[in-house]
Amino acid sequence: MRKRRQDRFTRFLALVIVSLLLASDLRAEGGGTIVGTVARGPQRLSNVVIHIERVENTFHPPKEAAIMNQQNLTYVPHVLPILVGTTVDFVNSDGLLHNLHAYMRGETLFNIAMPKFLKKKSMVLQKEGPVLLLCDVHREMSAYIVVLQNPFFALTNEEGNFTIKDIPPGSYTVRAWHENLKPQSQEVKLMEGASATINFKLRQ
């Protein structure tokens, strides 16, 4: 009898822990949405990372790895926003030697050779901030992995549009990051299930 009670308690405790974990890991069901556009003068801008600066919670990285591909002497994608702790699979799809020189705030984060026979190298990025990827062999190649504190981010498409979904209600600072332009922030207050529109005009 006592053992059964202990088992029930253990199961209940496990359920509570799993529920809490799930609750912290999942985006808010019925949460708010932020949509908008990013422009520079008359030009709509793609590859701009729009993200909520800080959300007080713990977020767990996705199990699936993000992919950064060295393909046709370019990095694909050019900008990759990820949640901190996400595993990134670096892939060399070219039949030639590359290297993977990653910098954070001007300091080397890692520098590894990507010979043509090494098709994949996985790394977990644990520090928040933009990581610059260069290839010392091909100086025209560059990309950014933007490591973020929370999963509420989006990358603008070719038309400069973005959508961030399932955001818990609250007041946030939304930031636009572009590799060459000055970052910009805007404040937004989001009610449950509501939608807000934010447009950015970036400048040099």
Partner 1 sequence: MAKKLYLLLLTGIALGSVVVTWEEAGAIPPFARKYQTSCSTCHVMFPKLNAFGDAFRLNGYQIPVPEGDEPYIKDKPLQIEAPAWKELWPQAIWPGNIPGMPPIGVRFISDFQWTQDETTDFSTNFEFPHEIEPLFGGTFGSDLGFFGQIEFKTPDKVALQQAFMKFQDPLTNLGLPVPERAFNLWVGKFDANLLPSYRNFTRVGRVHPLWGNKRLSDLKLTNPATGASKSFNSGYRAQDFQPGVEVNGILFERFGYAFGFTQGQKDEVTDKNDHKDFYYTARLKLWGRGLDGSLPGKELTVAAPATGGWVDNSLEIEHFGYFGKFPVQVKPRIEDEFDRFGVALRGSYQNLDLAVGYVWGHHDRPWAPASLEGADYRSPFVKAEYMFLPWLMGLLKWEMLEIDRPSDLVAQGFTRGSLDQQRWLPGVAFLIRANVRLVVEGEIFSVHKQSEQAGQSKPHNLWVRLDFAF
Residues that bind partner 1 (CB under 8 A): 40-43, 103, 106, 132, 134, 139-142, 144, 179-181, 201-204
Task: Report which of 50, 52, 48 is spatially closest to residue 172, judged by C-alpha positions.
Answer: 52
- Which one-letter DSSP state was computed for residue 26? S
CB of 117 to partner 1, least distance (A): 25
CA distance 42 to 44: 7
CB of 37 to partner 1, least distance (A): 14
CB of 46 to partner 1, least distance (A): 12
Measure CA 173 to chain center.
16
Which residue, 57 or 71, is less far from partner 1 as judged by CB? 71
Task: Give me the amino acid identity at 46.
Answer: S
Which residue, 33 or 157, is less far from partner 1 as judged by CB? 157
Which residue, 138 or 165, is less far from partner 1 as judged by CB? 138
Asked whether the beta carbons of 80 and 145 are under 8 A apart, the reply is: yes
Which residue, 33 or 186, is less far from partner 1 as judged by CB? 186
User: What per-residue string of b and e applies to 58-84 under the rule 16 or more CB within 10 Å gives b?
Assistant: ebebeeebbebbbeeebbebbbbbbbb
Task: Report which of 110, 83, 88 is spatially closest to residue 99, judged by C-alpha positions.
Answer: 110
CB of 54 to partner 1, least distance (A): 24
CB of 160 to partner 1, least distance (A): 11
77 preceded by cis ω (within 30°)?
yes
Which residue, 103 or 110, is less far from partner 1 as judged by CB? 103
